[in-house]
Amino acid sequence: MFAAGFQLKVNKRVTIICAAFRAPYEVRRPRPRRPFTRVPLSYRIVTLQVATALIVAAGMLLWNMPDAVGALAAGVVCVIPNGYFAWRANLERSASRLLGAGAAKFVGTVVLMAVAFATIKPSPLGFFGTFVALQIVHVVGGARMTAAPGSG
């Protein structure tokens, strides 16, 4: 009567005849298991940003050393505040605290950028090129990871 993989959901004690009549409305398929989707989206985006920063820095290392240092600095400046925000976003459900975490992310980005330019003086091309690339990865990666399967 039922295909394999279906579950009958009955909330109260009923006879088999009642359950047979009620079954088409209360049969549900189990969700397919996808292990990487158990990781929250915000953590996946930060991981994607770390990988992108390392790949861009390795590519710029072939170009020249100061641009590679700038790319690594941009990766640190971008990933640390985003990692903090991802951590807070998965802990908090209050809108005001989430807004506070977003403000802290912005302030952290500005402070880390100021510290990076004051201490190591990275190459502007390597730094801002990588920083813009990481911001694009944030938007595009998030949009692609939440898109419906088979949509492109």
- Per-residue model confidence as pLDDT tens digits over 81-126: 999 998 888 887 888 888 888 899 999 999 999 999 999 999 999 9
Specify whether the CB–CB gap between 42 and 50 falls below 8 A: no
Average pLDDT, the chain: 80
For the chain, the domains span 1-30, 35-146
The more confident residue out of 142 and 20 is 142
Q: Residue 99 and residue 96: Cα distance in Å, rounded? A: 5
Task: Pull the structure tokens for residue 146.
Answer: 């939440």
Residue type, 14: V
The more confident residue out of 41 and 121 is 121
Q: pTM of this prediction?
A: 0.68
DSSP symbol at 27: E
Per-residue confidence (pLDDT) for residue 57, from 0 to 100: 93
pLDDT (average), residues 70-82: 94
Task: Tell me: pLDDT of 4 over 70.
Answer: no
Task: Tell me: pLDDT of 130 over 80.
Answer: yes
Q: Rounded to an integer, what is the distance from CA 18 to the centroid of its chain?
A: 45
